[in-house]
Amino acid sequence: MFWFSRRPTASYVRDRVRRGGDGVVEDGVYVFDEPLEVPTHTHIRGEGGVVFVAGDKHSPVILADSVSFFSLENVSVEVPFKDYRTHAVFVRGADNFSLRWIRIYGNDVEETAGICLLRCSGAAVESCHVRNFRYGMFLTTAVEFSDVRWCYVDNCKTGMYIYGAEEGCLGDRILYNRIEGPGGTTDISGLDGILVDNAAECFVVGNRCTRNMEHGVYISASERMFVHGNIAQRNGCNGIQMVLTSESIVTNNFCISNKQHGIYLDRCADNMVSGNICMDNLAWGILEVRMDHKGPSFIDDNYFKGNSVGNIHRS
């Protein structure tokens, strides 16, 4: 194990980490004009108040590219630029790694993410805090069998975005996270707590999504999803929205005090929507439109109270 002592410079930390191994970084502020590149079989842990600061708006603070079996724990990352052009923690083409207890703070970053995973598998992102980015966490293009759990995303326009693009995401689990949006409403799409687009066999379980500008949870063009036990409350549009999604289970969710519907389904087929609580929403408790009559969804045994327009409507 290597140990950084006597407050080394950021360049020294970067050069030493590139050689790999297990290491501890002592408390201090380190400004990186170039990315801190993490190689295979490297395990870095911060000791005390370790702060990594972005020194260049075009460079990630932490970069892991085509590597495996690494971990990063207990550090803070700060981005002072509003026009930051990349992701603060950027992992691409990697497998079997973990990011734990990382705090990432932006300055109302307009376009990028606190954490981005691209073409990754076997990731564990746990107990991280992301604040003031366009996307809190962005999992995109063939991210498979990865977990994001026990994280807190605060004041990001989109809390967590799982975007399969052309290749899809498979088997990811979004578990027990807390996502608080900036509040208010918007006409811009995609400003959701959890947004899943083109994925299959993913779990969205036990998350709390509140004060997002659009939907609490939005599942689009996906199949065989398990959406269970989430709290979607006080969002600017629907609590849970599903579009072009099939063969999925939506159970035991709490959709409360959203500015439109509790649960909204559009062009969906063969889903089960049961055991949900829809209360005090400003439109319908559950609304299904343009339903697929060849494989209609099963909607039954839900609890309704105080929805302004009515309990359930299907067309």
- Please state the rounded mean pLDDT for residues 5-9: 66
| Percent with pLDDT over 90 in the chain | 83
Residue 152: helix, strand or coil by DSSP?
A: strand
> pLDDT tens for residues 83-133?
999 999 999 999 999 999 999 999 988 899 999 999 999 999 999 999 999
Here the tokens at position 314 are 């299907």
Domain presence at residue 28? no
Q: Which positions ≥6 away from 2 have C-beta within 8 Å?
A: 16, 21, 22, 23, 24
Question: Within 10 A of 300 (CB to CB), how many other CB atoms are there?
Answer: 10
Angle, CA of 174, 243 and 236, to the nearest 5°: 75
What is the predicted pLDDT for the residue at 166? 83
Domain presence at residue 228? yes
- CA distances for 142 relative to 31, 120, 139, 241, angstroms: 32, 7, 9, 23
What is the predicted pLDDT for the residue at 42? 94
What's the pTM? 0.95
Does 3 score more than 60 pLDDT?
no
Burial of 187 (0-12, 13-18, 19+ CB in 10 A): exposed
- Please state the rounded mean pLDDT for residues 173-201: 92
What CATH number does the domain containing 176 carry?
2.160.20.10
Does 6 score more than 60 pLDDT?
no
What is the predicted pLDDT for the residue at 187? 73
> pLDDT tens for residues 205-242?
999 999 999 999 999 999 999 999 999 999 999 999 99
Domain presence at residue 82? yes
For the ranges 12-16, 64-68, 160-164, 256-260, the lowest mean pLDDT is seen at 12-16
What is the predicted pLDDT for the residue at 77? 98
What is the predicted pLDDT for the residue at 5? 55
Considering only the C-alpha atoms of the chain, give the largest distance between any 2 of them, rounded to a whole number of Å: 69
- Gap between the Cα atoms of 53 and 298, Å rounded: 50
Domain presence at residue 26? no
Does 204 score more than 70 pLDDT?
yes
- Gap between the Cα atoms of 185 and 213, Å rounded: 5
Domain presence at residue 36? no
What is the predicted pLDDT for the residue at 209? 99
What is the predicted pLDDT for the residue at 171? 98
104 close to 89: Cβ distance less than 8 angstroms: yes
> pLDDT tens for residues 124-160?
999 999 999 999 999 999 999 999 999 999 999 999 9
According to DSSP H, which parts of the chain are helical?
Answer: 10-18
- The count of structural domains within the chain is 1
Q: Which domain holds residue 264?
A: 45-314
| Percent with pLDDT over 70 in the chain | 97
What is the predicted pLDDT for the residue at 131? 97
Domain presence at residue 14? no
Does 2 score more than 60 pLDDT?
no
What is the predicted pLDDT for the residue at 7? 62
What is the predicted pLDDT for the residue at 237? 97
Domain presence at residue 289? yes
Q: pLDDT band for position 293 (50/70/90)?
A: low
Angle, CA of 312, 201 and 100, to the nearest 5°: 110
Question: Within 10 A of 8 (CB to CB), how many other CB atoms are there?
Answer: 16
Alpha carbon distance, N-terminus to C-terminus of the chain:
63
